[in-house]
Structure 1
Amino acid sequence: MATIFITGSTDGLGRAAAQSLLDQGHRVVLHARSADRAASLGELKSRAAGIVVGDLSSATDTRRIADQVNAIGRMDAVIHNAGVYTQPSRGATPEGHAVTFAINTLAPYMLTALIRRPDRLVYLSSGLHRGGEGSLDDLDWKSRAWDSARAYAESKLQVVALAFTLARRWPDVLSNAVDPGWVRTKMGGSSAPVDLDTGQRTQAWLAVSEDSAAKVSGRYWHHLRQEQPAGEATDPEFQDQLVDKLSKLTGVELPEA
C-alpha cells in the first residue's frame, strides 16, 4: 500500500480523495490550513497516517509543511490539491505576493522542491487554464489591474507547466496534471454538474494505480482520459522560464534530477 500526502484535505476534493484512498487501504497524510480545521476532520483524523498544519499563503508555513511531511517519512505520492478560486482583490501574503498566485502556484512549487522526492506527483488544474497564457511578464500581478478570473486561469496553467517540467527533469517520477471538472464543492457551488466522487477519481487513481494507463508522465487528464492542454504549458522554454522565476521569487531551488 502507498503513502500519499494531499494538500487541502480537510474538505472538498482533497478530503474526498483522502477518503477514497483510505478506503482502498492506503496510508494518507492530511493537510489542514489551521489547527481548527484539523480538529474538524472527525473520524478521518483517526484514520490518517499523519496531519500537517500550515497556511499555504505563507512561505514560512509552506516550509514548515514540507518539514512536517519529511518528518513523517518519504511519500510515495503527493497530490497538490489545495487552491483558491476567485479572490476579490490581489491581496498580499506575508511576503507581499498575490494570494491566488501564492497558494495556487508558489506553494506547490515550494512543496515540490522541499518535500523528499516521491514516485508520483499530481497537480490539480482546471479547464480554465486554457485562458491563462502569457503570464510570465507579471506573474505576481504587480503591474496589471486585478482580474480574479484571469489570475486563477494563469495559476492553473502554471501548475500544468510545473507538472510537465517535473516529468521532463525528473524522469524517475510520474508527474501529471488533472482537470477534475466543475465539482460540487464549496468552491464549485451546489449547481456544479460533477459529483465529488467523479471529481476525485482521476487524481486518486494517478497517485496509486498499477494500471499501465496510469503509469505515465507529463500528461493532462480529465475524468480518467488524457486531453490536450494549452500549448504554453507544454513548451519547455516557458516551463524553464517559469521555474526560474519561481525559484527567484521564493529563494527555493528545484533540485536537479
Structure 2
Amino acid sequence: MAIVFITGSTDGLGKAAAQSLLDQGHRVVLHARSTDRAGSLGDIASRAEGVVVGDLQSGVETKRIADQVNAIGRMDAVIHNAGVYTQRSRGSTPEGHAVTVAINTLAPYVLTALIERPARLVYLSSGLHRGGEGSLDDLDWKKRSWDSAKAYAESKLHAVALASALARRWPQVLSNAVDPGWVRTRMGGAGAPVDLQTGQKTQAWLAVSDEPSALVSGRYWHHMRQQEPAGEAVDPGFQYKLLDKLQGITEVALSP
C-alpha cells in the first residue's frame, strides 16, 4: 500500500481522491490551508496518516508544508491538486505575486523541489491550458492588465509543462498531468457535468496503480485516457525557460 500526499484536500477533488485512496487501503497525508479548515475535515482526518497545514499563497508557508511532509516520511506519490480559478483581481501574496500564479504555479514547483522525491507525481491541469500560450513574457502579471481566465489558463499550461519537464529530468519518477474535466465542486459549481468520483479517478489511479497503463510518464490524461496537450507544454525549450523563471521567482532550485 502506498502513502500519498494530496494538496488542497479539505474538499472537492482533493478530498474525493483522499477518500478513494483510503477506501482502497492506502495511507494519505492531507493538506489544509488553515487550522480552521483542518478542523472541518471530520472523520477523514482520523483515517489519514497526518494533516499538514499551510497557505499556498505564501512562499514561507509553502516551504513549511514541505517540511511537515518530509517530517512524516517519504511519500510514494504526491498529487498537486490545490488550485484557484477566477480571481477578480491580480491580488498580492506576502511576496507580492499574483494569487493565481502563487497557488497554481509557484506552489507546485516549490513543493516539488523541496519534498523528498516520491516515486510518482501528479499535477492537476485543465483543458483550458490550451489557451495559456505566451505566458513567459509576464508570468507574474506585473505588466499586463489582469485577465482572470487567461491567468488560469496559463497556470494550467505551466502544470502540464512542469509534469512533462520532470518526466525527462527525473526518469525514475512517473510524472503526469491530469485534466479532471469540469467537475461539480465548490470551484466548478453545481451545474458542472462531471461528478466528483469521475473527476478524481484518474489522478488517484495514477498515484497508486500498478497496472501497466498507469506506469507511464510525461503524459497528459483526461478521464483515464491519454490526450495530446498544447504543443508549448511539451516543448523542451518552453519547459527550460519556465523552470528558469520559476527558480528566479522563488529562489528555489530543482535538484538535477
Q: Deviation of residue 211 (structure 1)?
A: 0.2
In structure 2, what is the equivalent of residue 231 of structure 1?
231
Whether 1:2 aligns to 2:2 is yes
Instruction: Note the C-alpha offset of 1:163.
Output: 0.4
Task: Confirm or deny that 1:185 pairs with 2:206.
Answer: no
- Please state how far the C-alpha of 1:85 moved relative to its aligned partner: 0.1
- Matched residue of 2:212: which SS? coil
SS in structure 2 at match of 1:185: coil
Distance, in Å, in 1 between the alignment partners of 2:35 and 2:161 is 32
Instruction: State the Cα deviation string for residues 134-171 of structure 1 (Å, max 9, x = none).
Output: 10000000000000000000000001000001000000
- Summarize the alignment of residues 104-119 of structure 1 with structure 2, pairs less than 5 Å apart: 104-119=104-119
Q: SS where residue 187 of structure 1 aligns?
A: coil
Matched, 1:153 2:162: no
Runs of 4+ with deviation above 2 angstroms: none
Point out where structure 1 has 5 or more consecutive residues left out of the alignment: none
Superposed, 1:79-94 pairs within 5 Å as: 79-94=79-94
Instruction: Give the Å deviation of 1:199.
Output: 0.1
Give the 3-state SS of the residue equivalent to 1:226 in structure 2. strand
| Cα distance in 1 between the residues matched to 2:96 and 2:77 | 31
> How far is 1:120 from its partner?
0.1
Determine the structure 1 residue equivalent to 2:36.
Answer: 36
CA distance in 1, matches of 2:143, 2:231: 25
SS across alignment from 2:94: coil
Q: Identity over aligned residues, as a percent? A: 79
CA distance in 2, matches of 1:61, 1:121: 21
Q: What is the TM-score when the length of structure 1 is the normalising length?
A: 0.99
Which residue number corresponds to residue 68 of structure 1? Answer: 68
Q: What amino acid is aligned across from residue 227 of structure 1 in structure 2?
A: Q
Residue 97 of structure 2 corresponds to residue 97 of structure 1: yes
Query: Residue 255 of structure 2: SS of its match in structure 1?
Result: coil
User: 1:134 matched to which residue of 2?
Assistant: 134
TM-score for the superposition, normalised by structure 2: 1.00
The one-letter code of the counterpart of 2:128 is L
